[in-house]
Amino acid sequence: MNEMSFFHLIFNASIPVQIVMLILLLASIFSWAMIYIKWGFLKQNRLEAKTFEGRFWSGINLSDLFSQLSTRQEKRYGMEAIFENGFREFARARKAELENVEVIHAAHRSMKVSMSREIDTLENNLSYLATVGSVSPYIGLFGTVWGIMDSFRSLAGVQQATLAMVAPGISEALIATAMGLLAAIPAVIAYNNFATEVDQLVVRYENFMEEFTGILQRQIQAPAS
C-alpha cells in the first residue's frame, strides 16, 4: 500500500515525468507569488485612485494639488502620475505662450503617454499567468503520456501482464496531469479577475483624463480676473 502513496509515486517516477512535475511545481509556486503581488498592487492602485479622486474633486486649487504632489519624495503612479504630467505640460505650454488649442493638445498628449505607461505597469506579468493557465495542462499531459508509455514498455518482456504491474506507472503518470491542472486553474482564475480589474482601472483613468482635459479647457478659456 505504501508503494501507491503520493510521495512514493513521485520519487519513484521516471526522470522525464519527474522533470515535468518539477516544472509544474515551479510554475505553480511562481504563479501564486505573482498572484499575491499583483493582488496587492491592484488593490493599492484602486485605493490610490479613490483617494486622489476625493482630493481632486474637493475643490482644491489645481496648482496647489500639483505642488503637493511634486514635493512628495515617493514615486507617483496611476491617476496622480496622469494628473502631474498633464498639468506640468499644461503649465509649460502656457508659459511658452502657445495657442489655447495647442496648450490643451499638449497636456492631453502628455496624459495619454503617461496613461500608456500606467497601463503597461498594470498589465505587467499578466501574460505569465495566461501562459501558465494555457500551457500547464499540456505539460502535465505530456508527463502522463510519457509515464503510460513507460508502463507499457516495461511489459514488453513479461509473459503475463497484471494490473498490479502497470498501476504504479499509470498512477504516477496521472499525477502529472493533476499537477498540470492544479497549476493552470488558479492561474486562469487570477488572470481573468486581474484582467477585469485592469480594464476597470483603465476606464477610470480614461474618464479622469477626459474630465481633467475639460477642466483645463474651461480654465484656459476663462477671462482673466
Q: How does pLDDT run across 95-123, given as a tens digit for each residue? A: 887 888 898 999 999 999 999 999 999 99
Three-state SS sequence of the chain? CHHHCHHHHHHCCCHHHHHHHHHHHHHHHHHHHHHHHHHHHHHHHHHHHHHHHHHHCCCCCHHHHHHHHHCCCCCCCCHHHHHHHHHHHHHHHHHCCCCHHHHHHHHHHHHHHHHHHHHHHHHCCHHHHHHHHHHHHHHHHHHHHHHHHHHHHCCCCCCCCCHHHHHHHHHHHHHHHHHHHHHHHHHHHHHHHHHHHHHHHHHHHHHHHHHHHHHHHHHHHCCCC
Instruction: With a cut of 50, say whether residue 204 has pLDDT above it.
Output: yes
Mean pLDDT within 81-99: 89
Return the domain boundaries, the chain.
Answer: 2-221
Instruction: With a cut of 90, say whether residue 1 has pLDDT above it.
Output: no
Instruction: With a cut of 70, say whether residue 162 has pLDDT above it.
Output: no
Residue-level pLDDT at 34: 93
Residue-level pLDDT at 16: 80
Tell me the whole-structure pTM to 2 decimals.
0.82
